[in-house]
């Protein structure tokens, strides 16, 4: 077990609480939700996801200049929302990058530019690891047990 398991979280809270920026968490969150819904939602394409990644990078940079007006340490929902936003921006970045890499449609992932499922190239798990501030995407084979995968038809 690490010597200071909550140290990183405390540091993040302190940074947000003591920030002097002019950015508003609500505004950044609204823009993030909009771009994720429009460009990385169920129906997506490569161009839209590339644009989403650019927007997410912009929002992540703006997040560095966030201002939390309430500097209190108890029941500070503004601080908690800002902290959660930082995590949501990280997850949005991973989701968009992994979705862009997967050039097929499968389940709830429907690419308008790759409309078919591609088991030959994409019957695998996607793994994302953050290294040196960048996302490293790798893959792991799927172990098929009792049920063979098949395309959904309605």
Count of beta carbons in the 10 Å neighbourhood of residue 99: 19
**Percent composition of the chain: helix, strand, coil (DSSP 3-state, to 5):** 45, 15, 35
How many domains does the chain fold into?
Answer: 1
Helix (H, G, I), strand (E, B) or coil at 88: helix
Domain membership of residue 135 (yes or no) is no
Domain membership of residue 131 (yes or no) is no
Please list the pLDDT of the chain residue by residue as tens digits (154 residues): 778 889 888 899 998 988 888 999 999 999 999 999 999 999 999 999 999 999 999 999 999 999 999 878 889 999 999 999 999 999 999 999 999 999 999 888 899 999 999 999 999 999 999 999 889 999 999 999 999 888 777 7
Domain membership of residue 112 (yes or no) is yes
Strands 43-44 and 134-141: unpaired
| 42: CATH | 1.20.58.100
In this prediction the pTM is 0.88
Domain membership of residue 142 (yes or no) is no
CA dist., res. 108 & res. 118, Å (int): 14
Residue range of the domain that includes 107: 7-118
Domain membership of residue 73 (yes or no) is yes
Helix (H, G, I), strand (E, B) or coil at 144: coil
């Amino acid at each position: 077990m690490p010597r200071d398991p909550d140290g990183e979280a405390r540091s993040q809270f302190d940074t947000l609480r003591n920030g002097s920026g002019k950015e508003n968490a609500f505004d950044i969150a609204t823009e993030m939700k909009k771009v994720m819904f429009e460009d990385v939602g169920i129906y997506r394409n490569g161009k839209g996801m590339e644009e989403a990644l650019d927007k997410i990078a912009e929002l992540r940079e703006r997040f560095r200049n966030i201002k939390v007006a309430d500097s209190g340490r108890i029941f500070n929902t503004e601080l908690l929302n800002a902290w959660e936003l930082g995590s949501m921006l990280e997850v949005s970045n991973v989701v968009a990058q992994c979705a862009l890499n997967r050039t097929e449609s499968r389940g709830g992932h429907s690419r308008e530019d790759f409309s078919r499922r591609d088991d030959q190239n994409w019957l695998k798990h996607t793994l994302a690891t953050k290294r040196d501030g960048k996302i490293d995407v790798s893959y792991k084979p799927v172990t098929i047990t009792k049920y063979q995968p098949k395309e959904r038809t309605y």
